[in-house]
Amino acid sequence: MEVIKTDILILGSGGAGLFAALRAYDSNPRLKITMATKGLIGKCGCSRMVQGGLNVVLNENDSLEKHFNDTLKGGGFINNQDLAWTLVSEAPKTVHELEVKVGCFFDRAENGKIHQKPFAGQSFDRTVHVADLTGIQIISRMTDQIFARDIRVFEETRGLDLLRSKDGTRIVGAVLSNIRTGEIFVVNAKVTIVATGGCASMYKISAPSFDKTGDGMAMCFRAGAEFVDMEMVQFHPTGLIAGKSRLNGSLLEEGLRGAGARLYNGQGERFMKQYDPERRERSTRDRVARSSYMEIMAGRGTKNNAVYIDVTHLGAEFVEKTFPGMVERVKDIGKDLAREKVEVTPTAHYQMGGVSVGTDCQCNLKGLLVCGEDAGGTHGANRLGGNGICDSTVYGRRAGDVAAALALEEDLHPHQDSQAEKIRMRWLKPFLGGSGGNVYEIRNEIEDLMWEKAGLVRNGNKLMEAADRLDVLLEEMGNAKVADRFRAQYHMEWNNIIDVTNLITVCRMVVNSAHCREESRGAHYRDDFPETDNEDWLKNIYQKKGDGFQLVVTQKPVELNRFKREEIEERFFEKVKH
């Protein structure tokens, strides 16, 4: 295998990976920085798909404390409070840098200041945006800046597994595969950053780009990283109904509800009045999504098992001017968002759980930094809309600074040649034959399995059924084979085998953690334990790889270093069922 030596290896080219590369380079342009992205830089991933915007305190009537309180309340108070505080306190300078250095230009209010719009679950309108196409602006401008610097980029190149040093004490890069050529090679690095995105595509109705299959999380798991609160998977309330199209499950952004959109069931009832009389459609994502799901399951949905979103009362001119991206998206399925009700359904969107990290993005594996959706802890049990791209940019920025400092401190530790070869042969095994099933059928089964047994409403028996079946499917993937064994270039079946293996690896952690948490909190709802239990479950659930692929689980009380338990219960928790 070819070996490329570098100071910093970054896996992923979303908001976190791009900002990490820019900050590391600008810290010291002499550093050798290598990026690998599964698709085309600036064109793939989920950050580019961000519609709504980025939460940041800019108004004198707002405060960091308010943003922090909203983030913790939305997260059911199991957030890592240091991570949450870092998020809100560093957002203002991150937005400033995005504008004056990266070149993003956010929409302006009439007074010339950055416009901020309302998002659900927030006590102040603090979401900055570029119409409803914010992600395209951020990723496009960051990509321009990458091209203006001496940063090496491998496009259509995926990570296979992380590499350890010869003494086994640290991560020193990864084995990669060029999807175009099928070539497998090694990148030996002083510091490795994983920022490949989440794995919500494990569900049959989902919003992320199709290439997001939990690759980074799975690689970190196999390397021995510790994960936190993997049961917390967010379902966005308004995914578009589009039949068999890839648009099915794609988002109609939260700004619609912030602006006054209304949700109706199939009987024409504005059902959120029953579930959250005060906030109604501007309730948090977990509550709105679960309410829609319950209406559908109770037989009050539309004929397509959906509900309606209606913005016609806002006026067609306002809708077309304010939400041009959403109007165009809905036109693609033959509907007119500005003038008629549109069918929507909850759609799997974001993982709050991930690799357990500190505010410096470091995990339990030396030499490895994790940021963006691969990292867990910041959002607790539920992420507020607008805090996602905020997370990616704030912590991508921090990861770049930390990586640059570590790269100057550390020597380049050589990797284990035997481990690299073992990884190569493991992933080439499908070319040598096997008895595994059809990878495409297995992926469809996983999506149905997770939706039905580990989705918006869960219970212990179904979760155990899902866990048992996932173990069988993982074993099948270990024996998978490809039909065409004589080429590796653009071999989609082979790459799908890798995708589905990673997908199952993450699914197992989600199901395992969901079975462990015997309560309901945020995005995690157990119909056999429907209440939030602060007495026994103000805890985080940690897990990592044990012998083979067994999962080792531990529970630890949430570290209440900024808000104490008494303040939380007195000021925030409602003594009601979900």
What's the CA gap between 380 and 327, in Å, rounded?
32
pLDDT score of 568: 66
Cα 213 to Cα 181: distance, rounded to the nearest angstrom: 21
Residues in the chain: 578
Q: What is the pLDDT along the chain (578 residues), one digit of tens a residue?
A: 999 999 999 999 999 999 999 999 999 999 999 999 999 999 988 888 888 899 999 999 999 999 999 999 999 999 999 999 999 999 999 999 999 999 999 999 999 999 999 887 889 999 999 988 899 999 999 999 999 999 999 999 999 999 999 999 999 999 999 999 999 999 999 999 999 999 999 999 998 888 899 999 999 999 999 999 999 999 999 999 988 887 888 888 888 998 999 999 999 999 999 999 999 998 888 889 999 999 999 999 999 999 999 999 999 999 999 999 899 999 999 999 999 999 999 999 999 999 999 999 999 999 999 999 999 999 999 999 899 999 999 999 999 999 999 999 999 999 999 999 999 999 999 999 888 789 999 999 999 999 999 999 999 999 999 999 999 999 999 999 999 989 999 999 999 999 999 999 999 999 999 999 999 999 999 999 999 999 999 999 999 999 877 899 999 999 998 877 677 666 655 443 34
Q: How far is CA 202 from CA 77, 276, 289, 351, 450, in A?
A: 26, 29, 17, 11, 7
Beta-bridge mates of residue 11? 36, 194
What is the spatial distance between Cα 371 and Cα 354, in angstroms, rounded to a whole number?
A: 9
Catalytic residue numbers?
236, 257
Q: What is the pLDDT of residue 569?
A: 62
* One-letter amino acid for residue 375 of the chain: A
Q: How far is CA 124 from its chain centroid?
A: 24
Q: Are 285 and 383 in contact (CB under 8 A)?
A: yes
At residue 576, the pLDDT reads 37
Q: Using CA atoms, how far apart are residues 496 and 481, in angstroms rounded to an integer?
A: 11
Provide the whole-model pTM. Answer: 0.94
Domains observed in the chain: 236-349 (3.90.700.10), 425-537 (1.20.58.100)
Residue type, 257: R
Query: Tokens 């996602």 — which residue?
Result: 388
Query: What does R_g of the chain's alpha carbons equal in angstroms?
Result: 23
Helices 134-147, 15-27: inter-axial angle, 10-degree rounding:
30
Nearest to 132 by CA among 392, 327, 336, 313: 327
Quick one: which H or E segment has residue 83? helix 81-97
Among residues 18, 11, 179, which one has the least CA distance to residue 98? 18
What does the DSSP assignment read for 416-451?
Answer: -HHHHHHHHHHHHGGGG------HHHHHHHHHHHHH
